[in-house]
Amino acid sequence: MLLLALLAFGFIVGWVAQIILGLGTRPDGRTLVAGLAGSFVGGLLASILAGDGLALRPSGLIGSLVGALIVLFVWARIAPAPAARRGGAR
């Protein structure tokens, strides 16, 4: 059950980051990967720096979103989505 909760949280964080960056509202594989990677790195780092440890706290949630924003931003600059290369989605 915990694994499903982590996947859902990562997907939601990635989706919100995608919307904030203006990369569209339709989630894709990058959404989940960026959300999970951002949650792991950003959330863990923010929680530890804030002194919250590994408990679920606002610092970890905010760090997860910031981490996902950074991952998606870099990913979009390095390898744009296929629809963006074709000139837009159909």
Question: 27-67: per-residue pLDDT in tens?
Answer: 778 888 888 888 777 767 776 777 766 666 666 678 788 88
Q: Nearest 5°: phi and psi at 24?
A: 105, 170
Q: Is residue 63 in a domain?
A: yes
What's the confidence (pLDDT) of residue 39?
78
Q: Is residue 6 in a domain?
A: no
Which tokens is 34 given?
């960026």
Which ranges in the chain belong to alpha helices (H)?
A: 2-20, 29-38, 44-50, 58-78, 82-86
Q: Is residue 72 in a domain?
A: yes
What's the confidence (pLDDT) of residue 57?
67
pTM of the model: 0.70
> 49-78 as b/e, with b when 16 or more CB fall inside 10 Å?
eeeeeeeebebbbebbbbbbbbbbeebbee
Domain coverage including residue 65:
11-20+29-77
Q: Is residue 65 in a domain?
A: yes
What's the confidence (pLDDT) of residue 81?
63
Count of structural domains, the chain: 1
- Residue 70, pLDDT > 60, answer yes
Q: Is residue 86 in a domain?
A: no
Q: Is residue 40 in a domain?
A: yes
Q: Is residue 73 in a domain?
A: yes
Q: Is residue 37 in a domain?
A: yes
What's the confidence (pLDDT) of residue 24?
79
